[in-house]
Structure 1
Amino acid sequence: MAMNFLPLSDAEREQLLADIQPLPITGFAWPAWVKAVAWIVLALIVLQAFVAFNRAGVQVLYSVTGLLLVIVFVALAITTRYMQTSITTIDTLGLRQSWMTRREVAWEDVTFAKFVPMLASKRLVVFTKRGKPVVFQGGTRELQVAFAKISLAFRNRKI
């Protein structure tokens, strides 16, 4: 089957929006268990850091390795925080997700979409007119079902 990397026609888009009703569909980008695991991992890192500092002393922070560990920890903490608050929305205008930077694609700009159901994260990879893929996370059942329907709409197109 040949892939068609053109945006959906108005009729195809209307049919897709009818298939994924009721709109808007809004939910957390990450499942609750993934968010809980992220906090647990972060807590274990803090605990391990306290144990290491008690053995080696705080002066280890003044080394290059210590500085790199602090930077990596801060990056993990920021990522974990955004995982907790990130929201994905599908509506008549397109797809949006709050993240460190806002992800937003209008339906008119979507040329292809692929649902990727991974263990920890169900994702919709959306290709835009610019050819740039944008990844949306779906942490709720409603978002995941909508992702699958969007992917099927692009996969089952008649050229």
Structure 2
Amino acid sequence: MSPFDRPTPEEHAALLAQIAPLPLSGRAWPRWIGVIAWLLMALIAVRLFTVLWLSPETALPMPVIASLVVCFGALLWMSWHMWTSVTEISDWGIRQSWISRREVSWAEIQSTKFIPLFASKKLVCFVQKGRPIFFQAGSRELQTAFARISLVYRKKT
């Protein structure tokens, strides 16, 4: 028996029946993580404003200012994606909108691992070719589904 034996069609059908109704979708990141990200962005914005505009005696060189603005823009972009990202489990597979779209079909999954971190519950999908794909679950329904998927698609030893 290979350590990557896929579940039987019956096991896969039973998994989808447990997760039903499909498609199951929800926030990729918990709402409280998004709120914290936006609060941190507000704090950074206030601090940048006070340093750049209200303290001309401590003028920074233009390349440093440009770097700070670019980094702040990148943090804003990530915060936006954390706030709007959605994970969906369907008959086809798993999808997550993120900075770049993450998706994997059921046929590609070799094994999975559920990682219940404090801030985000993750499902790592190991695929036939390429790097593992990480999905986040921000809702209790998605977290439960990830745990069930991990049990069915776990590496057999």
Assess same fold via TM > 0.5: yes
Map of 1:19 onto structure 2: 18
Unpaired runs of 5+ in structure 2? none
- Over the matched positions of the two proteins, sequence identity in percent amounts to 42
Q: Which amino acid aligns with 1:101?
A: S
Post-superposition Cα deviations, 1:47-89, rounded to whole Å, max 9, x if no partner, equal 0011111114695361x22222111111100000111111100
Does the aligned pair in 2 maintain the 1:16–1:149 contact within 8 Å?
Answer: yes
SS of 1:60's equivalent in the other structure is coil
C-alpha distance in 1 between matches for 2:58 and 2:10: 64
Q: Which amino acid aligns with 1:94?
A: G
What displacement does 1:15 show?
2.0
C-alpha distance in 1 between matches for 2:66 and 2:59: 11
Q: Which amino acid aligns with 1:115?
A: F
Q: Which amino acid aligns with 1:109?
A: E
Map of 1:100 onto structure 2: 99
Does the aligned pair in 1 maintain the 2:5–2:155 contact within 8 Å?
Answer: no
Does the aligned pair in 2 maintain the 1:8–1:111 contact within 8 Å?
Answer: no
C-alpha distance in 2 between matches for 1:84 and 1:40: 12
C-alpha distance in 1 between matches for 2:86 and 2:146: 14
Map of 1:155 onto structure 2: 154
Number of aligned pairs? 156
Does the aligned pair in 2 maintain the 1:3–1:155 contact within 8 Å?
Answer: no
Q: Which amino acid aligns with 1:73?
A: F
Map of 1:113 onto structure 2: 112
C-alpha distance in 2 between matches for 1:89 and 1:41: 28
RMSD (Å), alpha carbons: 2.1
C-alpha distance in 1 between matches for 2:61 and 2:16: 54
Does the aligned pair in 1 maintain the 2:112–2:155 contact within 8 Å?
Answer: no
Does the aligned pair in 2 maintain the 1:8–1:110 contact within 8 Å?
Answer: no
